[in-house]
């Protein structure tokens, strides 16, 4: 990119980063990794070095040595195993070095997955407490956050896992999911800051995952199943592709328009911008101008969010709010990437009763998958293999035209009549 090369070559000096200063005694030389201390973006290698030099934790030195070795050989050297805490069957990702003879200090480097608060909100007391416990028992390396949504405390030996977990658990932290069960969930910021939040996704996340906490800690199904909670169809958690159960906020009635703010928007940005950047980009041509006023035909609106994103002061979601449930999102392996598809067009999600009704529905869905799925088959793959119609019948859902983009284009089915 323009200017990027200049930026990349700029020498960035950071007060608090360890860097290479020639005085290092604890760490062994890592010339390949040191290349990643150059450039303006914050360097994870500088962070690791600073931590290792301060704590002189041999595990960090061993892991740096093994990582440097990987950079030279272009191969990875960790293998899995089985480490967990009392009563749980998942949550610790076990890593043993395959080349521990070469790097004995890297023999064990297990990760503890920890569930953050919905929306990834913290106060500093929570976070400092987490850091203190982690430094006491583990390496001090933290990933904020893993792709499934966990805090990942990386680098602990088996003997310290239980004591570390007990201390974290006293402070309100619990392990995240792993294996063939419910996984840790993710929420966007939702009502915590966003004017487009159509439901309280943080509360839904908390209550729903608490309900499924048994199968999260003790996986027993065909494969993993993930929830993600996005509070509007902008889907900032990427729920549609990254989760089996994508709970996406929406509304049923009309977009709310503030005519004065529409006028102010046009006065600031101009009529060309209104036509080119709002009206023309509406996917269903639901917006028109009538005597200079903006009119939205809500029967044509598909709730895509574009006009709300473009005109945040003038437009807001309707008042009858709830969720759509999409199911089956997953990435490439093995049958190809699958976007979640619409299963429940609209459900209220305001009260405890609404959330309980949702939980009951999900239990039906999981029971169906448990009965019909194959080993290592995500629910979207099961639905594709068995048939959406069979899934709808099996769970007892009402068929809805919103579940498909169009009726079938071939005549090959066994009619009931």
Partner 1 sequence: MSSPETKWKTIESGPHSYEEALHPVVRKNYGKWKYHEIPKPGVLKHVALSGDAIYTVRAGTPRQDTVDMVRRLCDIADKYCDGYLRFTVRNNVEFLTPNEAHIEPMIAELEAMGFPVGGTGSCVSAVSHTQGWLHCDIPATDASGVVKSMMDTVYNEFKDMKMPNKVRLSTSCCSINCGGQADIAVVVKHTRPPRINHENLSTICELPKAVARCPVAAIRPTVINGKKTLMVDEEKCICCGACFGACPAMEINHPEHSKFAVWVGGKNSNARTKPSTMSIVAHNLPNNPPRWPEVTDVLGRILTAYKAGGRPWERVGEWINRIGWKRFFEETGLKFDDDMIDSYRHARTTFNQSAHVRF
Chain positions 151 to 170 lying near partner 1, rule: CB under 8 A, are 154, 158-159, 161-163, 165-166, 169-170
**Contact positions with partner 1 (CB under 8 A) in 219-278:** 233-242, 276-277
By CB under 8 A, the residues from 355 to 414 that bind partner 1 are 375-376
97 forms part of the interface with partner 1 (CB under 8 A): no
| 125 or 291: CB nearest partner 1 | 125
Q: How many CB atoms lie within 10 A of CB 227?
A: 24
> Which one, 5 or 410, has the nearer CB to partner 1?
5
| Nearer CB in complex with partner 1: 307/394 | 307
d(CA 68, CA 106): 12
Q: Which of 23, 86, 268, 291 binds partner 1 (CB under 8 A)?
A: 86
CB 392 within 8 A of CB 400: no
Minimum CB distance to partner 1 smaller for 102 or for 121: 121
> Tokens in use for 154?
């990386």
- Contacting partner 1 within 322-341 (CB under 8 A): 331-337, 339
DSSP 353-379: HHHHHHHHHHHHHHHHHHHHPPTT--H
Write the interaction track for partner 1 spanning residues 173-212; mark x where CB under 8 A is met and - where it is not: xx---------xxx-xx-xxxxx-x--x-x--xx--xx--
CB of 60 to partner 1, least distance (A): 9
| Residue in 90, 142, 286, 362 binding partner 1, rule: CB under 8 A | 142
Integer CA distances (angstroms), 100 to 5, 66, 70, 108, in order: 39, 9, 13, 9
> Residue 63: which of 130, 134, 142, 141 has the closest Cα?
141
Taking CB under 8 A as the rule, does residue 3 contact partner 1? yes
- Residue with tokens 């009402």, as numbered in its chain: 398
35, 297, 320, 364: which one binds partner 1 (CB under 8 A)? 35
Judged by CB under 8 A, the stretch of 136-144, 290-298, 353-361, 391-399 that binds partner 1 is 136-144
The minimum distance between CB 291 and partner 1, in angstroms, equals 25
List binders of partner 1 among 66-85 (CB under 8 A): 67, 70-71, 73-80, 83-85
Residues with Cβ within 8 Å of residue 157, at least 6 apart in sequence? 59, 107, 108, 110
Number of amino acids touching partner 1 (CB under 8 A): 145
What is the C-alpha separation between 83 and 161, in angstroms, rounded?
8
Residue 103 binds partner 1 (CB under 8 A): no
Q: How far is the CB of 138 from partner 1 (least distance, A)?
A: 9
Contact 203, 192 (CB under 8 A): no
Give me 156's structure tokens.
């602990």
126: its two tokens: 């929570």
Tell me whether strands 245-251 and 227-230 are parallel, antiparallel or unpaired: parallel
Which residue in the set 103, 134, 223, 251 belongs to the binding site for partner 1 (CB under 8 A)? 134
Q: At what angle do helices 379-386 and 388-395 cross, to 10 degrees?
A: 110
Among 21, 22, 23, 124, binds partner 1 (CB under 8 A): 124
Asked if residue 351 binds partner 1 (CB under 8 A), the reply is no
- Eight-state DSSP code of residue 225: B
Of 100, 263, 306, 348, the one binding partner 1 (CB under 8 A) is: 306
End-to-end CA distance of the chain: 63
């Amino acid at each position: 990119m323009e200017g990027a090369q200049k930026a990349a070559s700029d020498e960035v000096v950071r007060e608090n980063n360890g860097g290479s200063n020639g005085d290092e005694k604890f760490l062994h030389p890592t010339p390949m990794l040191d290349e990643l201390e150059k450039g303006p973006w914050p360097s994870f290698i500088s962070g690791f070095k600073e931590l290792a030099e301060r704590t002189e934790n041999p595990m960090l030195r061993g892991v740096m040595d093994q990582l440097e070795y990987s950079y030279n050989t272009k191969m990875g050297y960790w293998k899995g195993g089985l480490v967990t805490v009392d009563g749980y069957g998942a949550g610790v990702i076990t890593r043993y070095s395959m080349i521990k003879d070469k790097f004995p200090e890297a023999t064990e480097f297990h990760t503890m997955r920890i569930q953050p608060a919905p929306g990834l909100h913290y106060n500093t007391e929570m976070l400092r407490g987490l850091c203190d416990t982690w430094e006491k028992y583990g390496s001090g390396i933290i990933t904020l956050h893993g792709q499934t949504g966990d805090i990942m405390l990386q680098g602990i030996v088996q003997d310290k896992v239980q004591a570390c977990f007990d201390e974290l658990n006293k402070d309100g932290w619990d392990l995240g999911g792993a294996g063939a069960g419910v996984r840790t969930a993710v929420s966007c910021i939702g009502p915590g800051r966003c004017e487009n939040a159509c439901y309280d996704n943080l509360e839904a996340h908390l209550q729903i995952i608490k309900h499924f906490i048994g199968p999260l800690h003790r996986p027993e199904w065909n494969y993993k199943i993930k929830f993600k909670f996005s509070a509007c169809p902008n889907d900032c958690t990427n729920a549609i592709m990254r989760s089996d159960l994508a709970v996406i906020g929406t509304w049923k009635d009309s977009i709310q328009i503030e005519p004065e703010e529409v006028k102010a928007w046009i006065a600031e940005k101009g009529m060309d911008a209104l036509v080119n950047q709002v009206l023309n980009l509406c996917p269903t041509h639901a917006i028109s101008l009538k005597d200079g006023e903006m009119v939205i035909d809500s029967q044509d609106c598909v709730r895509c969010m574009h006009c709300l994103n473009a005109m945040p002061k003038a437009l807001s979601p309707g008042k009858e709010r709830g969720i759509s449930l999409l199911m089956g999102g997953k990435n490439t392996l093995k049958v190809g990437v699958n976007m979640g598809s619409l299963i429940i067009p609209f459900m209220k999600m305001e009260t405890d009763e609404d959330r309980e009704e949702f939980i009951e529905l999900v239990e039906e869905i999981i029971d169906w998958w448990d009965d019909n799925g194959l080993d290592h088959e995500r629910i979207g793959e099961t639905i594709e293999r068995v048939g959406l119609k069979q899934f709808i019948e099996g769970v007892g859902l009402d068929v809805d035209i919103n579940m498909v983009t169009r009726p079938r284009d071939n005549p090959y089915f066994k009619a009931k009549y």
